[in-house]
Chain A
Amino acid sequence: MRPQTKGSFKVADTVVGANPDTHAAGDDPNRRDFIHIAAAVAAGGAVASLAWPFIDQMNPSGDTLALASVEFDLTKVELGQQVVIKWRGKPLFVRKRTGAEIAAAIKDDKADLRDPQTDEERHKPGKAEWLVVIGTCTHLGCVPTFGGGDFGGWFCPCHGSHYDTSGRIRKGPAPKNLAVPDYAFLSDTKVKVG
């Protein structure tokens, strides 16, 4: 066994050259190069794999993600009014629209919309009077005021975005319509959001 081992070392020596510290350009990498590369890769990999936990710790934590959905009793909302509830830290608008407001929203389905959606797509089938939207302006997240603006829907005081009675962006800097969250009618008088 022993002489054999010795022999193989000898072979290795001749392959990588007598002096592992220096080798001319164009030579194959020697053993020291390999150690340098392997060490750098190991250290780099370790740093990179540790970086992710330190980045990801800032993402929503388990308890934040587990925030329960909310149920809401619609009888609290008068016709032509809205109620603001808090859902996932954000305001949620539950608006009971009048016939005139619904008609105005449907009439504008064919208007020049920045984020085209029909009013039909923004409420549950057969529930046109109920509009449920997330109450944060799609521009920079302010809370639009009820009934303001040129289109009778909402007006954002921060940078002047106007939303219509369907919550669609009509004027101002906001790019999108007020978002409609996932929700379902549990009964005629109760919705569950989230």
Chain B
Amino acid sequence: MSGHSNYEPKTGIERWLDTRLPIVRLAYDSIIDFPTPKNLNYWWTFGGILAVCLGIQLVTGIVLAMHYVPHVDHAFASVERIMRDVNYGWLIRYMHANGASMFFIAVYIHMFRGLYYGSYKAPREVLWILGCVIYLLMMATAFMGYVLPWGQMSFHGAVVITNLFGALPIVGEAITTWLWGGFAVDNPTLNRFFSLHYLLPFMIAGVVGLHIWALHVPGNNNPTGVNVKSKEDTVPFHPYYTVKDGFAIVVFLILFASFVFYNPNALGHADNYIPANPLVTPAHIVPEWYFLPFYAILRAVPDKLGGVLLMFGAIAVMFVLPWLDTSKVRSMRYRPTAKLYFFIFLLACLILGYCGGQLPDDHVIPHLSTFTLIDADLNSFVWLSRFAALYYFAYFLVILPILGLTETPLPQPESISAPVLSHPANAPAGAAASPEKRG
């Protein structure tokens, strides 16, 4: 999408079209001839996997909308009808429901890859921010989609999430009433959630277009984090990465299919097969797994507004990450200290996710009571959440800003090709490995 184009129309029709709408040229330049670093590993295949996920969600979602009825009296029954009576409805719904989880698995891997290899650093800040926007839109879409079956978890999930906005001072109540279209989550709420659930994926698709555009200006980052220096450092996207991405997509689809066909409800919650009852909240209300880390942060704060602000802050902080990390070295391959903190960060996110699924006052180590600190036993999930949430924010706000100024990174290779050529396996007989050490 940038720079010069190597596209040469071969047929008369292509020439004719190229002077009127150069769409074949655009496709050629972005997915055939696009120069891509030759050292991308499998962590780089998740962009393609995510595009497939979005496509699956769009197709299955449009089909489901042909059979679903967005009304409090009919929604639950219409979903059951899809499952039992609509031809292959069970398959399409299970693809859509599990597809959401697969989408989030892929996006989390994609994000952690960006964090590890410094893909958010200059000149890719806008690329990273657009990714954060996509992630926010995905969360909104997934949340509203989960409400549509109008089961117990759907309903009370909607109640809890919309009430988050009620924590805002002064305008909070007006905003929740506005979101609900009434005095509680009810039919108007379901109706508008359906409308927006249908809209947002197309907005995601639009931002994905911008995301790819922003990617194709500086080109891909790569595992070394070193800029592309010459043509030697790249290969054309096709066939090298169409095949590599294609292979990864097939492997990913095997995982996807194993959930759809062998354990389609493993990632859902049994209570959502109970029709919504506004008068009874399920004893243990949890969001879908992909929201659990943020849910744990929400519950870690013993103050309503504070919890809400911290939860949204956990996402907001990602938007400013390019300006928080002070290190000029992109890839953590050459930042041993940062690498250590990164893996602790990964662990903290997993711990938060685990805590989000547990009851706050339950003991982490069973049958062990220690002492009460502030409002809960120290050996409780709420305290574990607090420590993990503290690390989550410290990583962004303290560790990355300071570490970039104090750490001593390892020497970076001169180019993408250098470490490959200097590898002992590739060295010609008699040549010394690691030419950079010869001074």
Contact = CB atoms under 8 A, between A and B. Distances in A.
Contacts of B305: 175
Contacts of A159: 299, 360
Contact of B278 (A60, A64, A86): A86
B178 A160 contact: no
B181 A58 contact: yes
Contacts, number: 95
A61 B281 CA distance: 27
B281 A90 contact: no
Contacts of A61: 181, 188
B303 interface: yes
A141 B165 CA distance: 11
Nearest to B302: A173
Nearest to A64: B182
Nearest to B375: A171
A144 B305 CA distance: 20
B356 to A, nearest CB: 12
Interface in A48-101: 55, 58-61, 64, 67, 84, 86, 88-91
Contact of A160 (B182, B303, B361): B361
A142 B361 contact: no
Contacts of A91: 278-279
Contacts of A105: none
A89 B181 contact: no
B179 A90 contact: no
A90 B375 contact: no
Interface residues of B, number: 38
A133 interface: no
Given A158-B285, A159-B360, A140 B179 contact: no
B333 interface: no
Interface in B49-63: none
B303 A173 contact: yes
Nearest to A138: B304
B160 A141 contact: yes
A89 B186 contact: yes
Interface string B278-293: 1111111100000000
B230 to A, nearest CB: 48
Interface string B426-437: 000000000000
A143 to B, nearest CB: 4
B183 interface: yes
A173 B283 contact: no
B185 interface: yes
Given A141-B163, A171-B375, A173-B303, A89 B185 contact: yes
A172 B374 CA distance: 11
A140 B159 contact: yes
A54 B299 CA distance: 35
Interface string A25-64: 0000000000000000000000000000001001111001
A123 interface: no
Contact of A142 (B160, B164, B301, B360): B160
A174 interface: yes
Contacts of A60: 177, 180-183, 188
B183 A90 contact: yes
Contact of B304 (A64, A139, A145): A139
Contacts of A55: 178
A173 B188 CA distance: 29
A64 B182 CA distance: 6
Contacts of A173: 299, 301-304, 307
B279 A84 contact: yes
A157 interface: yes
Contacts of A84: 279
B188 A64 contact: yes
Nearest to B299: A159
B110 interface: no
A138 B304 CA distance: 9
A184 B225 CA distance: 71
B93 to A, nearest CB: 27
A157 B182 contact: no
A139 B308 CA distance: 11
A58 B179 contact: yes
Nearest to B307: A173
Given A90-B183, A173-B302, A173-B307, A157 B285 contact: yes
B160 A158 contact: yes
Nearest to A135: B279
B184 A88 contact: yes
B124 interface: no
Interface string A157-187: 1111000000000011111000000000000
Interface in A81-128: 84, 86, 88-91
A87 B232 CA distance: 71
Contacts of B160: 140-142, 158
23 contacts: A55-B178, A58-B178, A58-B181, A59-B178, A60-B180, A60-B183, A64-B182, A64-B186, A88-B183, A89-B186, A90-B184, A140-B159, A140-B304, A141-B163, A141-B166, A142-B159, A143-B279, A157-B281, A157-B285, A160-B359, A173-B302, A173-B303, A175-B305
7 A-B pairs with the lowest CB-CB distances in the bound complex, closest first: A89-B184, A141-B163, A140-B163, A88-B183, A142-B281, A143-B281, A140-B160
Interface of A: 55, 58-61, 64, 67, 84, 86, 88-91, 135-136, 138-145, 156-160, 171-175
Given A138-B304, A173-B303, 7 more contacts: A64-B181, A64-B183, A91-B278, A140-B166, A145-B283, A157-B281, A159-B360
